[in-house]
């Protein structure tokens, strides 16, 4: 009878994934959601709303995401993906302009309908920012910070759901759509009316 060897071979070395895990991404999402809701809901009636959302975008959306990248050891290049071409940037910009008008119309329609049925939310403190300042804040800085969180970190972590075949990719896209839709509930200023519009925007962003 042959004696069993007590030698146990060492486990094979596997290189750590450069992408964040889905667990870390969900923790980041919950932290950002809770902090954003607490800050915006608490202060929107006492601080310039445009300035408040700009601070939330920079320090909560962007800052927390940068901290998560550093803490998890994820590679920023892997999260951001390939560098977009000029043509892709132009296409993305054109798509953004195309969906802006119908999404705004749908958002206001749902908001007015819910306001008539349930009552309107009290308006936040108005902003003193001029048109060009608001264009930079809401058209550039805030979307970039939100995109880094959702279509960068969270979408990269959701790639683990994308198994072989097209159905796996749609799981990743579906997760981002749901998370982005719920995110609009607390950060857009329209309450429940923001969820459908944000879900569509999440779908467009995830597919691009």
Query: What is the full DSSP assignment across the chain?
Result: -PPPP---PPPPP-PPPSSPPHHHHHHHHHHHHHHHHHHHHHHTTTS-HHHHHHHIIIIIIIHHHHHHHHHHT--HHHHH-SPPPHHHHHHHHHHHHHHHHHHHHHHHHHHHHHHHHH-PPPPPPPP---HHHHHHIIIIIHHHHHHIIIIIIIHHHGGGG--SSHHHHHHHHHHHHHHHHHHHHHHSSSGGGHHHHHHHHHHHHHH-
> How confident is the model at residue 35, as a pLDDT?
92
Interatomic CA distance for residues 191 and 141, integer angstroms: 22
Q: Do residues 152 and 65 make contact, with C-beta atoms less than 8 angstroms apart?
A: yes
Cα Rg of the chain, angstroms: 21
Q: What is the spatial distance between Cα 79 and Cα 60, in angstroms, rounded to a whole number? A: 18
Q: Residue 163 has which token pair?
A: 């198994």
Residue 122 pLDDT > 80? no
Question: For position 130, what pLDDT does the model report?
Answer: 87
Lookup result for tokens 């819910």 = 114
Q: What is the pLDDT of residues 165-193, one digit of tens each?
A: 556 678 888 899 999 988 888 777 777 88
Burial label for 93, CB within 10 Å (0-12, 13-18, 19+), is: exposed
Distance CA 178, CA 181 (A): 5
Tokens 């809770």 appear where? 34
* Residue 125 reports pLDDT greater than 80: no
- Which phi-psi region, left, alpha or beta, contains residue 117 (left: φ > 0; alpha: ψ -120 to 50)? alpha
The pLDDT of residue 162: 62
198 vs 1, residue with greater confidence: 198
Query: Whole-number mean pLDDT of the chain?
Result: 81
């Amino acid at each position: 009878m042959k004696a069993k060897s007590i030698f146990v071979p060492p486990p094979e070395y596997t290189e750590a994934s450069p992408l964040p895990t889905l667990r870390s991404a969900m923790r980041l999402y919950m932290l950002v959601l809770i902090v954003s809701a607490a800050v915006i809901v608490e202060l929107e009636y006492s601080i310039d709303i445009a300035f408040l959302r700009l601070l939330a975008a920079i320090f909560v959306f962007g800052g927390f995401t940068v901290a998560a990248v550093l803490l998890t050891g994820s590679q920023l290049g892997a999260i951001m993906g390939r560098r977009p071409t000029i043509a892709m940037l132009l296409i993305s910009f054109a798509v953004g302009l195309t969906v802006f008008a119908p999404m705004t119309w749908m958002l206001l329609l749902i908001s007015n309908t819910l306001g008539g049925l349930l009552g309107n939310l009290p308006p936040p403190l108005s902003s003193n920012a001029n048109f060009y300042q608001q264009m930079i804040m809401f058209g550039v800085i805030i979307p970039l910070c939100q995109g880094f969180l959702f279509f960068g970190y969270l979408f990269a972590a959701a790639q683990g759901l994308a198994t072989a075949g097209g159905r796996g990719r749609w799981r990743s896209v579906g997760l981002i759509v749901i998370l982005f839709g719920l995110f609009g509930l607390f950060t857009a200023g329209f309450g429940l009316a923001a969820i459908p519009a944000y879900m569509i925007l999440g779908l467009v962003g995830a597919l691009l």
